[in-house]
Amino acid sequence: MVASWDLIASNTLGSNTSTVTFSSIPDTYNDLVLKGTVKGTGTNSYIQAAKNFNSDTGSNYNRTALYIDGTPSQLQSNGETLERYMIPNPSSSEYNNSFSFFELLITRYNSTSHKKLDRTLWTNLPNGGGLGLTGIYLGVWANTSNAIHTISLADSVGSYQWVAGSTFYLYGITYT
């Protein structure tokens, strides 16, 4: 199987922004991938980002997470929760002014008969060295009747913003 990636849309922020939205997503691909290099205005420059599909902010999302800070003793899992988070908040000041990297894969986003599965890989790099944080979120959107045509990313609390210079790229993947 060969995967063909098509850039659907990109966004480099010229100013701080509360929500980044990709809309009118065509349903002609097999999967979607959203990649970004991001920073927030919150304490320690973070955003506890939440994803919304088709403006659904309800409890139709589940996720589980596994993350590590570079030492095996720090491997953690938070179990299954009813949350839409996809990029975590760095927990100390060593992350001030640093960007985080993420890749969100959404499988069968155009299905009208299956739940949508997603996987987010993320890395937060500290300033001036240190171990950093990296992890994976596995999620499901329980809506089976709608294809995903809109993806929005915003702070889950609603008080922080994406910083100017943050970049987002949405790709459609076709398998042949």
Report, as an integer, the average pLDDT of 118-123: 86
Q: Which pLDDT belongs to residue 27?
A: 93
Strands 3-12 and 167-175: antiparallel
For residues 97 and 74, the model is more confident at 97
What range does the domain containing 96 cover?
A: 3-175
The per-residue pLDDT for 76 is 56
Model pLDDT, residue 170: 98
Question: Into how many domains does the chain fold?
Answer: 1
Q: Average pLDDT, whole number, for the chain?
A: 82
* Rounded percentage of the chain residues whose pLDDT exceeds 90: 41
Tokens 């979120």 identify what position? Answer: 137
Encode the chain in three state secondary structure. Answer: CCEEEEEEEEEECCCCECEEEECCCCCCCCEEEEEEEECECCHHHCCCEEEEECCECCCCEEEEEEEECCCHHHCEECCCECCCEEECCCCCHHHCCCCEEEEEEEECCCCCCCCEEEEEEEEECCCCCCCCEEEEEEEEECCCCCCCCCEEEEECCCCCCECCCCEEEEEEEEEC
Express each pLDDT in 17-67 by its tens digit. 989 999 999 999 999 999 998 887 766 545 667 888 999 888 888 888 777
Contacts made by residues 104-108, CB under 8 angstroms, sequence distance 24+:
104/32, 104/33, 104/34, 104/35, 104/51, 105/31, 105/32, 105/33, 106/31, 106/32, 106/33, 106/34, 106/148, 106/151, 107/30, 107/31, 108/30, 108/31
Quote the pLDDT of residue 6. Answer: 98
Q: What average pLDDT does the segment 137-158 reach?
A: 87
